[in-house]
Structures are given as C-alpha cells and as structure tokens.
Amino acid sequence: MIKLFHVYKQYDTKLVLSDVTLLVEKGDICCIVGPNGAGKSTLLKLMFCQKKPDRGQILINNQNVTHMSQKAISAVRQRMGFVFEDYRLMLRKTVLQNVALALTIAGTPLKQGRQNIDRVLAALGLEHKKHDIASTLAAGEQQRVCIARAVVSDPLVLLADEPTGILDSAAAIEVFDLLRGMSMRGTTVVLATQNQDVADRFPQHRVMLNHGRVTEQ
C-alpha cells in the first residue's frame, strides 16, 4: 500500500531523511518512533505528497507519486487522512463544520456522511461538542477534532503525527482503539511518535528512526 525506496530529503544543506526504505501493507498499523528531530514528520509529509523527496521513489496504492502532476496527487490525497501535529482546525467554525468539510473534500455526500460523523464523534467522546466553536475547545479536544476530521471519510491511508501528544491516557486509549478498528476495516495506518509508551502499543510493525535513518524495523 505504501512503499518508499531509498528516499532522501534535505532542507537547505541539512539531510533530514537518508536512504529510507519502508513497506507498509494494506491494513497494517506502522508506528514510526524516534526522538525529536529524527525526521518523523517529514517522512509523513512525503507519504502525504505534501513534500517531494530529493531522491528515491514513493508508491501509494501502487501508484508512483514521486513525479506525479498536482492534479493526480490531489486525487490520491482525497483518499488519505492526515492528523496534523498542530491540528490546523478552522478555529471560527464548529466541530461539525470542521469534520464535515473533510467529507466534502473526499466527495462523500453529506447525507451519507452524517452517520460517519456521529460514529466518529462518539468514538472520540466529542458528541456533546458537536456545535461548539473550535477555538473554545481545550487543546486535547482540538486534537481529537483533528483526528475525527482525518478519519471521517474512511480513508484508504491514515497518517497520524503524534495523534495523542497531549491527550490523557483514557482519551489516548480511545484513539488507539479507533486506529485499530480502522486498520481492521482495511485502512493502512502510519503513526509517528516520540513516546516509547505509545510505540509499545503497536509492536506488530515498529520502525525506529534516528537522525533520518531507519535503525531498526
């Protein structure tokens, strides 16, 4: 589902990813673990086609996205969800409006998507916040809205950057259960974390990243 071959990424003169080769199968949950600055977020952004590698190849769902046109990339990204480290919500809009926009982008009719919205908000303990304005939520709630938005359209691929970074352990467990449920339904999940306790919950496929290199798989 996701394949990276000998991927390199550099910012100015700083090499951030070096010879990364990685295979994530359909329905897999792959946990990228490594310290701050290891290159985890950059790796997820490459998978999301938000950045391009300097060298190497990236395949998503058997499509080589390395040299794709912007239009073709948009179509690939329509089937992907991304949990941003910094949430990136529309702060003046309600929870519902934030989550519903993801359905519009994915091309899901809103009527059909309403059930998904209710299911996802319930799974994340946000039902009672549905009509609240995003800026009025606590940070942990905003992070969960960001997760809800990423998963509501049942994406083929879910990329989650520190999705439980500021959640308490009960909320984090809800998120892990949600990710596991999605992977069981066939979504390919890649999760990045610097937290070893989080990584220990996903021992099936763990990738250690250090200074931009995969040191253990």
Ligand X SMILES: Nc1ncnc2c1ncn2[C@@H]1O[C@H](COP(=O)(O)OP(=O)(O)O)[C@@H](O)[C@H]1O
Query: Got the DSSP string for 105-145?
Result: HHT--HHHHHHHHHHHHHHTT-GGGTTSBGGGS-HHHHHHH
CA 180 to chain centre: 13
- Give whichever of 18 and 61 is closer to ligand X, judged by the CB atom: 18
Residues 19-58 that bind ligand X (CB under 6 A): 34, 36-42
Q: How far is the CB of 41 from ligand X (least distance, A)?
A: 3
Compute the distance between CA of residue 113 and CA of residue 170 in angstroms, rounded to an integer.
Answer: 27
Q: Is 102 in the site for ligand X (CB under 6 A)?
A: no
Q: How many CA atoms lie within 13 A of 76 on its CB side?
A: 23
- Give whichever of 34 and 81 is closer to ligand X, judged by the CB atom: 34
- Binding span for Mg ion by CB under 5 A among 10-18, 38-46, 137-145, 204-212: 38-46
Q: How many CA atoms lie within 13 A of 46 on its CB side?
A: 31
Q: How far is the CB of 51 from Mg ion (least distance, A)?
A: 13
**Encoding tokens for residue 125?**
């303990």
**Encoding tokens for residue 113?**
């998507």
**Member of 1, 2, 16, 31 binding ligand X (CB under 6 A):** 16
Q: How far is the CB of 22 from ligand X (least distance, A)?
A: 15
Q: How far is the CB of 179 from ligand X (least distance, A)?
A: 18
The site for ligand X (CB under 6 A) is made up of 11, 16, 34, 36-42
